[in-house]
């Protein structure tokens, strides 16, 4: 099992924690990170969700991150950030 397949930047961590608190989202929810679509037309999938049977759950910088095992290879090394307007994902 990987330690941290993705990185959560401090500003994103703060925003995630604030959003969870402000919306009174239950503690068992985490940030789902994945990809939508495939090939050149794929886009990032970010949202709050509950882990399911095909998911791996990681504690990344104090944030519960949920990644479907099928998406793990695609999200490996991604950096989740936040700027005015929303979350950002960069892949190195």
What is the value of pTM for the model shown? 0.89
Q: Does a structural domain hold residue 2?
A: no
Compute CA distances 5 → 15, 21, 24, 26, 85, whole Å: 20, 25, 27, 24, 25
Asked whether 14 and 87 are in contact (CB, 8 A), the reply is: no
Counting Cβ atoms within 10 Å, is residue 46 exposed (0-12), middle (13-18) or buried (19+)?
middle
Asked whether 7 and 33 are in contact (CB, 8 A), the reply is: no
Q: Does a structural domain hold residue 1?
A: no
Q: Is beta strand 63-68 parallel, antiparallel or unpaired with respect to 30-36?
A: parallel
Predicted confidence (pLDDT) at residue 2 exceeds the cutoff of 60 = no
pLDDT at 39: 64
pLDDT at 68: 95
Q: Does a structural domain hold residue 28?
A: yes
pLDDT at 56: 95
In total, how many domains does the chain have? 1
Write the pLDDT tens digit of every residue in 33-83. Answer: 999 876 666 789 999 999 999 999 999 989 999 999 999 998 999 999 999
Domain span holding position 19: 7-91
Q: Does a structural domain hold residue 37?
A: yes
């Amino acid at each position: 099992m990987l330690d941290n397949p993705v990185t959560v930047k401090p500003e994103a961590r703060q925003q995630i924690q604030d959003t969870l608190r402000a919306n009174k989202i239950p503690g068992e929810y985490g940030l789902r990170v994945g990809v939508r679509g495939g090939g050149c037309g794929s886009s990032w999938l970010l949202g709050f969700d509950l882990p399911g049977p095909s998911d791996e759950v990681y504690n990344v910088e104090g944030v519960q991150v949920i990644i479907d095992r099928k998406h793990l290879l695609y999200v490996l090394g991604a950096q989740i950030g936040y700027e005015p307007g929303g979350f950002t994902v960069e892949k190195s």
